């Protein structure tokens, strides 16, 4: 007895331990999956936001460059007659107008075709009259095309980029160019456009030229430095936009979006530290954890409560298995609630053993009352049904039917085809009659329909519909066949027994055959 209770106690604890372990594992896995999903979502959203942000700023920078080129183009059209007339005062006035009208340029110069500066604004630069020899200046004169230079140090010592536009006379002679400069290490239109987008969480953006040189950076000391080993810079200078997870020059992992400036070949890169993106994740997951804990504790309580009863089915099965030879054993065992797989399997095995004998008995009973070919009732079943109808008397209509010229079908096509015709006819009969009707194969090609609570007129209609349906149905190799039917009716008030109505139906069937077959005859 002590060992019995010890084993029960151990099984209970084992079930409880496994259940708790499963819940905790599921809890941990769910929490980890939520964490990973939130983490990836934050990273993906940041990468996409930086890409879109870089694309917008690149478009703004491109629009700014296009606008600046337009200003230079307009000024170039005004400067042609002034250069030809060597009107120094007018030239000074135009460069001042061009510089002061907007905040686009930090300085403006006019250079003649001999590479000499003929006008400059502001004059504090003190480069008027200087002859330029830099490759960028000479290239602008040589190409006679609008240009945007790479960063360089000017004669006045400023680190800048220059936008130039050629000046032509009315007769298309090249006269020189007008150039506007944008300073890279001091306040300029470029710093105004990009500098307002600096954030306190470590996010920032920078711009590189075609040679990977920084032309804008929040830290002005970095301007002019070349970027090496940065895949985002490599991609954007190919003309692609996108996003990448990169390590910056300071060793910080950054979520980077980038986009090219179409008109200049520059690249705009916006980035945010990964740590800043994920900074609030731990706090968010702590909130999720606090929401999950009460539910998990409640589940664990339910498991503990349920585990108390899980071992009960085994004990009940063991006790009642010893009473299997008694009346009602099957229902007693079937009433046991199996709480887990092993108990359910054991219960099923016991019930299966009990039910095996009943199944065999039922099968023998069914075989003795069922026609093996068609699955319909046989003559023995007919008598059982008639006895049941007598216990609770009810009106009964009987339809006896026979396949016309069935011997000819067997002789012409063989008995296999004849069997197929019989099976097909049985299936048609099952489709036609009501669910409470009984279909019987009373002989080789002879059948009976027992129709309780059906009047004689209704039975005649059923028989006629069946006759027409059979006549129009292809019976495989045998083609179309016909049947003859006899209909009779028995009322519960009649003195005669039910056997008499079967004889009346047979008599009507015989009369249908005598009258030429393929017809319904009613015995009144």
Given pLDDT bands bounded at 50, 70 and 90, which one contains residue 398?
very high
The C-alpha angle with vertex 36 and arms to 22 and 234, in degrees rounded to 5, equals 155
Q: Which residue has the higher pLDDT, 96 or 4?
A: 96
The answer to whether residue 389 scores a pLDDT higher than 70 is yes
For the chain, what are the domain ranges? 32-293, 379-522
pLDDT at 361 over 60: no
Say which of 432, 445, 464, 511 is annotated catalytic. Answer: 445
Task: Please state whether 296 falls in left (phi above 0), alpha (psi between -120 and 50) or beta.
Answer: alpha
Q: Which residues contact 241 (CB under 8 A, 6 or more apart)?
A: 51, 54, 55, 58, 257, 258, 259, 260
Q: For 426-448, how does the pLDDT look when each residue is reduced to its tens digit (9 = 90+)?
A: 888 888 777 788 889 888 889 99
How far apart are the C-alpha atoms of 511 and 92, rounded to whole Å? 131
328: DSSP letter: T
d(CA 218, CA 292): 44
Average pLDDT (147-176) is 85
Higher pLDDT, 367 or 29: 29
- pLDDT at residue 513, rounded to an integer: 92
The pLDDT of residue 220 is 80
Could you report the per-residue pLDDT of 78-92, keeping only the tens digit for each? 888 888 887 888 888
Task: Indicate the range of 288-292, 332-336, 409-413, 425-429 predicted with least confidence.
Answer: 332-336
CATH code for the structural domain at 379-522: 3.30.70.270
Q: In what order do the strands lie in the sheet with 242-247?
A: 214-216, 204-208, 266-273, 253-261, 242-247
Mean pLDDT on 332-341: 70
Distance CA 337, CA 216 (A): 77
The Cα 207–Cα 193 span in angstroms is 12
**Using one digit for the tens of pLDDT, what is the confidence trace for 224-238?**
888 888 998 899 889
What is the third-level CATH fold of 32-293?
Beta-Lactamase (3.30.450)
Read off the pLDDT of residues 445-482 as tens digits, 9 standing for 90 and up.
899 999 988 899 999 999 999 999 999 998 888 889 99
Higher pLDDT pick, 360 / 142: 142
pLDDT, tens digit (0-9, with 9 covering 90-100), for 184-234: 777 777 777 776 655 667 788 888 888 888 888 888 888 888 888 899 889
Domains 32-293 and 379-522 share a fold: no
- pLDDT at residue 325 in the model: 64
pLDDT for 1: 44
Report the DSSP beta bridge partners of residue 208.
Answer: 214, 267
Q: Which residues of 370-388 are buried (b: 16+ CB within 10 A; e: fewer)?
A: bbeebebbbeebbeebbee
Look up 432 and say whether it is catalytic.
no
496-510 residue pLDDT tens? 677 788 899 999 999
């Amino acid at each position: 007895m002590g060992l019995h209770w010890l084993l029960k106690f151990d099984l209970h604890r084992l079930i409880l331990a496994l259940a708790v372990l499963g819940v905790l594992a599921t809890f941990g896995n769910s929490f980890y999956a939520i964490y990973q999903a939130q983490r990836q979502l934050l990273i993906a959203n940041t990468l996409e936001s930086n890409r879109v942000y870089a694309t917008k700023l690149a478009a703004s920078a491109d629009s700014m460059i296009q606008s600046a080129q337009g200003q230079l183009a307009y000024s170039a059209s005004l400067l042609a007659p002034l250069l030809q007339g060597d009107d120094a005062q007018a030239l000074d006035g135009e460069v001042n107008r061009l510089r002061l009208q907007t905040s686009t340029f930090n300085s403006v110069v006019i250079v003649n075709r001999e590479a000499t500066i003929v006008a400059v604004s502001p004059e504090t630069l003190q480069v008027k009259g200087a002859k330029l020899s830099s490759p960028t200046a000479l290239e602008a004169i040589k190409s006679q095309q609008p240009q945007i230079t790479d960063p360089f140090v000017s004669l006045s010592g400023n680190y800048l980029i220059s936008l130039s536009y050629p000046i032509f006379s009315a007769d298309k002679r090249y006269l020189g160019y007008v150039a506007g400069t944008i300073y890279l290490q001091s306040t300029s239109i470029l710093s105004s456009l990009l500098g307002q987008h600096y954030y306190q969480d470590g996010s920032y953006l920078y711009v590189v030229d075609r040679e990977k040189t920084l032309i804008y950076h929040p830290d002005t000391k970095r301007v002019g430095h070349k970027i090496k080993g940065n895949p985002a810079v490599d991609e954007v200078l190919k003309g692609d936009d996108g996003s990448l997870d990169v390590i910056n020059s300071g060793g910080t992992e950054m979520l980077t979006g980038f986009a090219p400036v179409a008109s200049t070949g520059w690249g705009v890169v916006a980035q945010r530290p990964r740590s800043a993106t994920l900074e609030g994740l731990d706090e968010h997951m702590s909130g999720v954890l606090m929401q999950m804990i009460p539910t998990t504790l409640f589940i664990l309580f339910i498991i503990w409560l349920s585990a108390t009863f899980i071992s009960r089915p085994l004990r009940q099965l063991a006790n009642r298995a010893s009473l299997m030879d008694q009346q009602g054993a099957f229902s007693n065992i079937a009433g046991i609630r199996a709480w887990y797989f092993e108990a359910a399997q054991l219960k099923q095995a016991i019930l299966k053993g009990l039910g095996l004998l009943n199944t065999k008995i039922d099968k023998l009973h069914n075989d003795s009352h069922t026609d093996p070919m068609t699955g319909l009732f046989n003559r023995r079943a007919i008598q059982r049904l008639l006895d049941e109808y007598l216990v609770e008397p009810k009106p009964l209509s009987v339809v006896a039917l026979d396949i016309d010229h069935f011997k000819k079908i067997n002789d012409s096509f063989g008995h296999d085809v004849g069997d197929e015709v019989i099976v097909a006819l049985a299936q048609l009969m099952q489709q036609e009659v009501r669910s409470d009707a009984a279909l019987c194969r009373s002989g080789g090609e002879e059948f009976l329909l027992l129709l309780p609570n059906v009047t004689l007129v209704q039975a005649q209609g059923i028989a006629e519909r069946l006759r027409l349906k059979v006549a129009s149905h292809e019976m495989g190799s045998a083609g179309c066949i016909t049947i003859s039917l006899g209909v009779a009716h028995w009322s519960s008030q009649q003195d005669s027994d039910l056997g008499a109505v079967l004889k009346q139906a047979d008599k009507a069937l015989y009369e249908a055959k005598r009258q030429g077959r393929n017809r319904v005859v009613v015995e009144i």
